[in-house]
Structure 1
Amino acid sequence: MEFKILAPTGALGAGFGAESLALGVAMKPDVIACDAGSTDSGPYYLGSGEPKLSREAVTRDLRLLLKARDGLNVPLIIGSCGTSGRGEGVDRVAAMAREIAAQEDLTFKLARIYSDQDSDTLARRFTEGRIQPLDGAPELDLDTLISSHVVGMMGVEPIQQALRDGAQVVLAGRASDTALYAAYPHMHGADPGLTWHAAKTIECGAACAIPPSADGLFVHLRDDHFDVEPLDPDSRLTPYSVAAHTLYENANPHLIAEPSGTLDTTDATYTALDGRRVRVAGARYLPAETYTVKLEGSRLVGYQTIALGGIRDRVVIEQLPKLLPFAHDYFATKIQDVFQGRVDPDDVTIDYRLYGQDAVLGARDPQRAEPVHELGMLITVTAPTQETAHAVATFVAHTSSHLPISGYDGLASTVAYPFSPPETDRGPVYRFTLHHVALPETPYEMFSAVHEEVTG
């Protein structure tokens, strides 16, 4: 038994070489699968429903994949549509698919799988104790839960059901990255350990290639091993680069949790077949006693305005530990004075992030004690409305450029701004609210599918 899987890129819209795709198509895959989203870029995309990658970039990739699927007559599976997997993202990609079908004279059966969770059902699951925290999860209350936009991360089962129901193109909401690649071989009897390990290896496209790139990988999945190779002729894989990918986005280098169980790569072996290809064997899949669906939630926390500046004065830099607390106290009083009680200072956050000192690693920076001669300063003001954030930022930016420096007489300039005006409105700001799992009665109940015939 052999299954051939084409993973054209790590994210729909990130791109891939047309020549690479052609090489993959020539090897006649049984299925094409592609991820389209992630939480890596932060909570904005889940909170707002906006995609990270441009419509033009996504359309370009989708057009090539739909044409490849049509020529091969194999399933095309795309998950986490629209970056976050919200329903808007699924609908947006579906609209692109219909448009491409009309332009390219393509016909296919399309399934849209939605992963959005309604607040009433979430509240009921919460009160029944069927929402449980993962390690490091924040405290969760009912108000936070129902005020967040929440998606569930589907496993292979809803995708497999869509395929059994005749779908040739599956556009899924939020999904486990690996489930997209595991769904087809898993439902046709492939070894589950090898299937999930192969899926984990190719989930990010050629990210595990040397050099890493926005391009594709191809897998030959067999009874007791799988072979993986890059589609770019100038790329290569090594046992080390393939094995290292099991570390990516995982707390444990050997145990990788999925909704239905855990992939155990402890005994996996990685063998170079030549200078470009690697053979992998030995992984096991351990079914879970309880099926779980990871929940991801995001909610609006305010609006932001930022100002970016630079400091190149050692006297100023040395006094910043005293100056910034002084500035915070001053601005709290200033907000009360300017807004005459209409804005509570506790509802406004003013943050100074100093690039070159503590901005990235903070107190854990091993070079923290070394002298600094230049700093970049990012001032971020977050408030309940954009109007308030901008108004506060104007006097914060102005005053921050003339903080009182001990040892200097008269007016001193402390921060230089490269832009005029220095204030830039960022718009709405969101935060993640959930790191939890739901305990459904079946793998399907939290997801809904809609089927349609798309004709060119």
Structure 2
Amino acid sequence: MTRQIRYLSPTGVLGVGFSEDHFRAALSPDLAFIGCDAGSTDGGPANLGGNKPFFSRAAVKRDLRILITGVRSIDVPLLIGSCGGSGGNWNLNWVREIVREIAQEEGLRFRVAIIESEPPRELLLRKYREGKIRALDPAPPLDEEVLQEADHIVAMMGAEAYVAALEGGADVVLAGRSTDAAIFAAIPVARGFPAGLAWHAAKIMECGGASVVKMDKPEGMICTITDEHFTLEPVSPTQQCSPLSVAAHALYETADPYRMLEPGGEMDLTEAKYEAVTDRMVRVTGSRFHPRPYTVKLEGARKIGYRAMVLGGVRDPVILEQFEGWFDGLKAHIAENVEGVFGPSIRGQYRIDYKIYGKNGVLGDREPYPERIGNEVGLLMVSLAQTQEVAYAIAGQAAHMVLHHSVPQWEGLLSNLAFPIAPHFWSLGEAYQFVLNHVVELDHPLELHPIRYEEV
């Protein structure tokens, strides 16, 4: 009899939602576990730096309630990674409290493992001094001051932390920052299935049902792994997988679609083969995994000030015909005006980031056709300063300058910018930046990830 393991990923990220009916129809006692990623850096550094959840409490609680009642009904483990969006200790505890509420409201009792991912700073400083922290490309400059003064630093755990938590008797694993694939590779690898197949499947399953032909709404995926292959089948009866849709997932969020690093090794998809089993199911063979020294990625965020913003649109064809010259003059005019208000000492104490949508707002300097421009452009201006008051004041001044900045063809007072909302400039609050894009070499996989247990 062919050895196999089956598991379910209900959605690409906890809190985005999924069909409860489809999920419950997919529940089966032969599932080994259910896993769900809960985090990302897509939203920038504020989630980690400012202790902010990725989705609302109501959205996360809705999804968690369905998942927890589901896994308890068939008595299989639930693994949640990168809790609360960034996986920081605050975010992890935020999810822990929601889980405790659900257990009480549903009358459930189970054992929870909480795996932290914010390493002690002294340990990171020792690693740095030993030369065991290395930069990824690109990476900001790193020194001891960065390690000491970052608001939060997390280490992305690998599969071993999940395995250890389950060996400790956990029914539900709540993990801090984690590689997305580790959530789904942990149990198959621990049970001796080929690491190449387990990690490749996990890389796809981390996104729930995203590898379907057409994802009209977030749904789940079921994976079955054997010693020779793995298969993928959507949870939703209205969705299908194809060899192309599954293979194309290797292009998502990867620098190299054939080789991808995980703690302890490298996925190698150069020999992977994809074939249709049915019109909904795809079989994958040939994936490999090469062991490498055990490193985990570090992510760090630091507060850099406060932001305010202005958003408006320019449609005057006379301005658009000479946009570059007009825009350069506008920026100089704004800088002159800011210094006129705050004095020369403001130099170096603020900045304004400009994005021109309809020209190069998405790619910026990498835009291959910078000369192209349409009937209108959207102008986004974001000021950054050390206080909210100053950032807000600069945004207001910038809004007024762009509104009336002239061109030679027009005489008198002009109104160049159409504002879509009132008030037309507003405060954005605290601003953060990523200060780490590095890996740290570990002496053992659990070195930075302590586990504790609670009965809820």
Corresponding residue number in structure 1 for 2:227: 223
- For residues 89-128 of structure 1, the C-alpha deviation after alignment (integer angstroms, 9 at most, x for no partner) is 1111111111001111111100100001232222221122
Corresponding residue number in structure 2 for 1:318: 321
- For residues 179-218 of structure 1, the C-alpha deviation after alignment (integer angstroms, 9 at most, x for no partner) is 1011112112222111111111211001111212411000
1:368-383 counterparts in 2 under 5 A?
368-383=370-385
Q: Does the 8 Å CA contact 2:359/2:371 hold for their aligned counterparts?
A: no
Q: CA deviation at 1:360?
A: 1.6
Secondary structure of residue in 1 paired with 2:405: coil
- For residues 219-261 of structure 1, the C-alpha deviation after alignment (integer angstroms, 9 at most, x for no partner) is 1111211111000000000011111112222111111111010
Are residue 196 (structure 1) and residue 199 (structure 2) matched?
yes
Corresponding residue number in structure 2 for 1:277: 281
Q: Separation in 2 of the partners of 1:85 and 1:407?
A: 55
1:14-53 counterparts in 2 under 5 A?
14-26=16-28, 28-53=30-55
Corresponding residue number in structure 2 for 1:87: 89
Q: Separation in 2 of the partners of 1:254 and 1:49?
A: 35
1:288-437 counterparts in 2 under 5 A?
288=292, 290-340=293-343, 344-437=346-439
Secondary structure of residue in 1 paired with 2:447: coil
Q: CA deviation at 1:411?
A: 1.3
Are residue 268 (structure 1) and residue 269 (structure 2) matched?
no
Q: Does the 8 Å CA contact 1:308/1:418 hold for their aligned counterparts?
A: yes
Provide closer, same or farther for how the CA distance between residues 118 and 318 of structure 1 changes in structure 2, counting only shifts above 3 A: farther
Secondary structure of residue in 2 paired with 1:435: strand
Unaligned stretches of 5+ in structure 2?
Answer: none
Provide closer, same or farther for how the CA distance between residues 17 and 28 of structure 1 changes in structure 2, counting only shifts above 3 A: farther
Are residue 98 (structure 1) and residue 128 (structure 2) matched?
no
Q: 1:162 aligns with which of 158, 161, 165?
A: 165
Secondary structure of residue in 1 paired with 2:83: strand
Secondary structure of residue in 1 paired with 2:390: helix
* Matched pairs, number: 452
Q: Quick one: which amino acid aligns to residue 60 of structure 1?
A: R
Q: Quick one: which amino acid aligns to residue 432 of structure 1?
A: F
Corresponding residue number in structure 1 for 2:127: 125
Q: Quick one: which amino acid aligns to residue 290 of structure 2?
A: L
Q: Does the 8 Å CA contact 1:348/1:384 hold for their aligned counterparts?
A: yes
Tell me the percent identity: 42
Q: Quick one: which amino acid aligns to residue 220 of structure 1?
A: T
Q: CA deviation at 1:135?
A: 2.8
TM-score (norm 2): 0.96
Secondary structure of residue in 1 paired with 2:359: coil
Q: Separation in 1 of the partners of 2:373 and 2:162?
A: 56
Q: Does the 8 Å CA contact 1:137/1:435 hold for their aligned counterparts?
A: yes
Q: Separation in 2 of the partners of 1:31 and 1:256?
A: 24
Q: Quick one: which amino acid aligns to residue 414 of structure 1?
A: N
Q: Separation in 2 of the partners of 1:322 and 1:256?
A: 44
Q: 1:209 aligns with which of 207, 212, 218?
A: 212
Q: CA deviation at 1:81?
A: 0.3
Q: CA deviation at 1:421?
A: 2.1
Comparing 45-54 with 324-333, greater Cα deviation is found at: 324-333
Q: CA deviation at 1:26?
A: 3.2
Provide closer, same or farther for how the CA distance between residues 220 and 293 of structure 1 changes in structure 2, counting only shifts above 3 A: same
Corresponding residue number in structure 2 for 1:175: 178
Q: Does the 8 Å CA contact 2:358/2:377 hold for their aligned counterparts?
A: yes
Q: Does the 8 Å CA contact 2:359/2:373 hold for their aligned counterparts?
A: no
Q: Quick one: which amino acid aligns to residue 247 of structure 1?
A: L
Q: Separation in 2 of the partners of 1:364 and 1:81?
A: 34
- For residues 118-141 of structure 1, the C-alpha deviation after alignment (integer angstroms, 9 at most, x for no partner) is 322222211221101123223222
TM-score (norm 1): 0.96
Q: Separation in 1 of the partners of 2:271 and 2:338?
A: 61
RMSD of aligned alpha carbons: 1.5
Q: Does the 8 Å CA contact 2:333/2:401 hold for their aligned counterparts?
A: no
Q: CA deviation at 1:410?
A: 1.4
Q: Separation in 1 of the partners of 2:365 and 2:178?
A: 36
- For residues 349-372 of structure 1, the C-alpha deviation after alignment (integer angstroms, 9 at most, x for no partner) is 123322111212335444433453
The structure 1 segments of at least 4 consecutive aligned residues displaced by more than 6 Å after TM superposition are: none
Provide closer, same or farther for how the CA distance between residues 321 and 369 of structure 1 changes in structure 2, counting only shifts above 3 A: closer
Corresponding residue number in structure 2 for 1:239: 243
Secondary structure of residue in 2 paired with 1:206: coil
Provide closer, same or farther for how the CA distance between residues 25 and 283 of structure 1 changes in structure 2, counting only shifts above 3 A: same
